[in-house]
Amino acid sequence: MATRPSPRFSIIEVARKAGVSPATVSRAFNQPEIVHPDTLAHIRNVAKRAGFRPNRVGRSLRSGSTRTIGLILPTLSNPVFAECFEGAERRARESGYSVMLTATGYDPAVESAAVQGLMDHQVDGLILTVADVNKSATLDDLDSSGMPYVLVYNESSTHPFASVDNRAAASDMVAHLAALGHRRIALVTGPLTASDRARRRLMGARACAKKLGLETVQHIAMSSHTGSDADALKAALRGKQAPTALFCSNDLLATAVIADLVALGLSVPSDISVCGFDGMRFGALLTPPLTTVAQPSDGIGQTACSNLLAQIHGQPPQSNRLPHCIVVGGTAASVRR
């Protein structure tokens, strides 16, 4: 079991040892059905003995395909994105594709560099989430590059994506809150300028409120995407017109908001209702369990990957809106009379 310096065989050595041409060895690995069974067995034997495995870099350069896709997500520490990755990676692996993954930490500079870097690596396609579909330099680059890609979580009429219908989902949650008797609802988000999803959710929430004759959904902006802002929260809760329900634009934010409310001496849901958006598994473990809008993140990843692979194989780009559902937990309750 000595650690030899690994004199990595090439297809040429194998060909010589097997007494055939390099082309035949190549065929033995790529189109075994067209080489003579005896030759095939012999080559496989020699290759195995020598510990030979085709070098994918050589193959990629020659064939023009790396059989690798790139994934660019804000952070894997948000279980929503982690699940999305798992769905996509599994699907990719099943099709013989590998995945390069970059976490941007919501930094547009990292995001843009990641796209460039993955393109330099000649990935066959890209799955990514951008802050805002409508003004993303990254996305413009991508469009003009001809590289196949699919967005996840974003929605757009001009770019392929896999996502829930954020407007409808937010609307459904507002309807749920309204059914509980809430008439003053606020949507809590991170910086709106940095998230087209948050904007869509706000639109959906407002549309529903209007339809149901509720007061306009207020908007409370936090400075970070997943962290709460105790001061902003306190300010928003002052006065007679304070909202009775806080609809947070993601689950992580909801947990942070709940923690802040508790620190403020409020109790959820008896003093105020809170709900989230995402449906991360951990929400169910909280006490009370988090009321939220569940997105099928694994499915979003899987679908995006399927669509991307289809594109890579020449199909036209395609978008999918996956079904969401309201998870009734215990953080949103009937409003007190």
Partner DNA sequence: TTGAAAGCGCTAACAT
Partner DNA sequence: ATGTTAGCGCTTTCAA
Contacts with a second copy, residue ranges (CB under 8 A): 1, 3-6, 53-58, 60-61, 66, 68, 75-77, 79, 82-83, 85-86, 89-90, 93, 98-103, 110, 116-122, 140, 143-147, 255, 259, 281-282, 285-287
Bridge partners (DSSP) of residue 246 are 186, 274
With CA atoms as reference, report the closest residue to 233 among 200, 243, 334. Answer: 243
Say whether residue 41 binds DNA (CB under 7 A).
no
| Whether the Cβ atoms of residue 75 and residue 105 lie closer than 8 Å to each other | yes
DSSP calls for 157-183:
SSS-EEEE-HHHHHHHHHHHHHHTT--
From residue 60, how far is each of 57, 122, 228, 315 by CA, in Å?
5, 9, 47, 21
All residues at 6 or more sequence positions from 160 whose CB lies less than 8 Å from its CB, including other chains:
149, 150, 151, 307, 311, 317, 318, 319
With CA atoms as reference, report the closest residue to 160 among 324, 318, 333. Answer: 318
Q: CB of 113: closest distance to DNA in angstroms? A: 18
Beta-strand (E) ranges in 60-217?
68-73, 98-103, 125-128, 149-152, 161-164, 185-189
The strand pair at 185-189 and 161-164 is best described as unpaired
Chain mean position to CA 211: 31
| Whether the Cβ atoms of residue 111 and residue 72 lie closer than 8 Å to each other | yes
Say whether residue 309 binds DNA (CB under 7 A).
no
Q: Which residue has the tokens 């799955």?
A: 127
Say whether residue 318 binds DNA (CB under 7 A).
no
Q: CB of 298: closest distance to a second copy in angstroms? A: 9
- Residue 31 or 144: which CB sits closer to a second copy? 144
- Residue 249 or 255: which CB sits closer to a second copy? 255
Choosing from 17, 24, 153, 332, the residue that interacts with DNA (CB under 7 A) is 24
Say whether residue 117 binds DNA (CB under 7 A).
no
User: How open is the CA angle 72-173-154, to the nearest 5 degrees?
Assistant: 20
- Residue 64 or 213: which CB sits closer to DNA? 64
- Residue 116 or 334: which CB sits closer to DNA? 116
- Residue 122 or 320: which CB sits closer to DNA? 122
The listed partner (DNA, a second copy, none) that binds 24, CB under 5 to 8 Å by sort, is DNA
- Residue 266 or 335: which CB sits closer to a second copy? 266
- Residue 8 or 211: which CB sits closer to DNA? 8
What's the rounded Cα separation, in Å, for the pair 260 and 238?
Answer: 15
Q: CB of 253: closest distance to a second copy in angstroms? A: 13
The listed partner (DNA, a second copy, none) that binds 20, CB under 5 to 8 Å by sort, is DNA
The listed partner (DNA, a second copy, none) that binds 231, CB under 5 to 8 Å by sort, is none
With CA atoms as reference, report the closest residue to 308 among 103, 81, 57, 128. Answer: 128
- Residue 86 or 215: which CB sits closer to a second copy? 86
What's the rounded Cα separation, in Å, for the pair 68 and 57?
Answer: 11
Give the interface segment with DNA, choosing from 26-34, 135-143, 155-163, 194-202 (CB under 7 A): 26-34
The listed partner (DNA, a second copy, none) that binds 323, CB under 5 to 8 Å by sort, is none
Choosing from 29, 106, 149, 277, the residue that interacts with DNA (CB under 7 A) is 29
Q: Which residue has the tokens 């948000």?
A: 78
Choosing from 19, 105, 227, 323, the residue that interacts with DNA (CB under 7 A) is 19
Say whether residue 27 binds DNA (CB under 7 A).
yes
- How many C-beta neighbours within 10 Å does residue 146 have? 6
26 token code pair: 């190549």
Say whether residue 16 binds DNA (CB under 7 A).
no
- Residue 12 or 179: which CB sits closer to DNA? 12
Residue ranges binding DNA (CB under 7 A): 8, 10-12, 19-27, 29-30, 34-36, 38-40, 54-55, 57-59, 61-63
